[in-house]
């Protein structure tokens, strides 16, 4: 049976999503280990987004084909009983044979959290980047609009990105702020949706907007970076710990309809 998993994780203690040759702990490896125990043979779990080391997920999506037939509830409980408490399968659903978490995805949404106080709260230190200098959310919001639409993202991705096509469509970019009662401080959040993300693209957008918020960059730099692909015009790549994969987008019902069992 082909299965769709929804997964949450605190990426702090993982070397990212993807199984590493070096044997480091990864989310994919954690899930595949549990499923191999349950299935009695090796299985491959395909994730929608191969998040980097330290990046978190509220609702990562993965697909996996299993030999045995499982009730979704039992499978969820069985996997969760065999993985660390920093990763949880929050949903299991039977999917059509044609569903593949990555290839069927139409887009993703990432969020970047910044804790903007003189101190970094122990309650958000695992999930938020710390910026002690005051950020102008208004300026970040204005400049963020420049990222919307179809652009070549060469200036906002890893130089080592092995892809040929660096054109992506950013469909939404919002900069918000809220007060965290628990952390006792202001949190600035940058949400960005696109039909796809190059490596480091979300963190590079966040880093550039942080430079804008501190008054160190502005419209000109962003427009020129987008036009020329010059990495020197983009801000530094913001640290992984502030980034969370929030949602993977599929066409409505697609994963059910794709040859659903």
Q: Which is nearer to a copy of itself, 30 or 32 (CB)?
A: 30
CA–CA separation, 231 and 238 (whole Å): 14
Which residues touch 260 (CB under 8 Å, ≥6 apart)? Answer: 94, 95, 96
Per the CB < 8 A criterion, the answer to whether 13 and 25 are in contact is: yes
- 182 forms beta bridges with none
**Is 123 among the residues that bind a copy of itself (CB under 8 A)?**
yes
195 is catalytic: no
Q: Report whether 237 contacts 212 (CB < 8 A).
A: no
How many whole angstroms separate alpha carbon 130 and alpha carbon 39?
43
Asked if 60 contacts 247 with a C-beta cutoff of 8 angstroms, the reply is no
Residues 228-257 that bind a copy of itself (CB under 8 A): 244
**Nearest distance in Å: CB 129, a copy of itself:** 13
Residue (83 or 201) nearer to a copy of itself, CB: 83
133 lies in the site for a copy of itself, by CB under 8 A: no
| 177: contact with a copy of itself by CB under 8 A | no
Catalytic residue among 10, 13, 52, 165: 52
Tell which one of 169, 184, 215, 251 touches a copy of itself (CB under 8 A): 184
Tokens of 172: 């939404």
Asked whether position 80 contacts a copy of itself by CB under 8 A, the answer is: yes
Q: Which of 40, 85, 159, 165: binder of a copy of itself (CB under 8 A)?
A: 85
Cβ(204)–Cβ(157) below 8 Å: yes
Residues marked active site are found at 52
Residues of the shown chain interacting with a copy of itself in the complex, contacts defined by CB under 8 A: 8-10, 56, 58-59, 76, 80, 85-90, 117-123, 125, 127, 181-184, 244
């Amino acid at each position: 049976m082909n299965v769709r998993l929804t997964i949450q994780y605190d990426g702090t203690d993982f070397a990212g999503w993807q199984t590493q040759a070096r044997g480091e702990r990864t989310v994919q490896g954690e899930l595949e280990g549990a499923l191999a125990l349950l299935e009695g043979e090796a299985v491959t779990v395909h994730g929608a987004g191969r998040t980097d080391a330290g990046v978190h997920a509220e609702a990562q999506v993965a697909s996996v084909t299993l030999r045995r037939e499982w009730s979704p509830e039992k499978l969820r409980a069985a996997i969760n009983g065999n993985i660390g408490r920093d990763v949880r399968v929050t949903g299991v659903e039977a999917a059509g044979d044609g569903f593949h978490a990555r290839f069927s995805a139409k887009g993703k949404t990432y969020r970047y959290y910044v804790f903007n106080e003189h101190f970094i709260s122990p309650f958000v230190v695992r999930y938020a980047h710390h910026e002690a200098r005051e950020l102008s959310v208004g300026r970040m919001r204005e400049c963020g609009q420049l990222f919307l639409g179809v652009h070549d993202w060469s200036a906002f991705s890893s130089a080592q990105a092995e892809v040929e096509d660096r054109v992506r469509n950013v469909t939404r970019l919002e900069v918000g702020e809220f007060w965290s009662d628990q952390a006792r401080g202001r949190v600035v959040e940058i949400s960005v949706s696109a039909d796809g993300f190059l490596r480091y693209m979300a963190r590079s957008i966040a880093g550039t907007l942080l430079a804008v918020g501190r008054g160190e960059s502005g419209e000109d730099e962003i427009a020129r970076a987008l036009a020329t692909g010059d990495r020197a015009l983009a801000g530094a790549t913001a640290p992984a710990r502030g980034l969370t994969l929030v949602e993977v987008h599929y066409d409505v019902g697609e994963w059910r309809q794709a040859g659903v069992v």
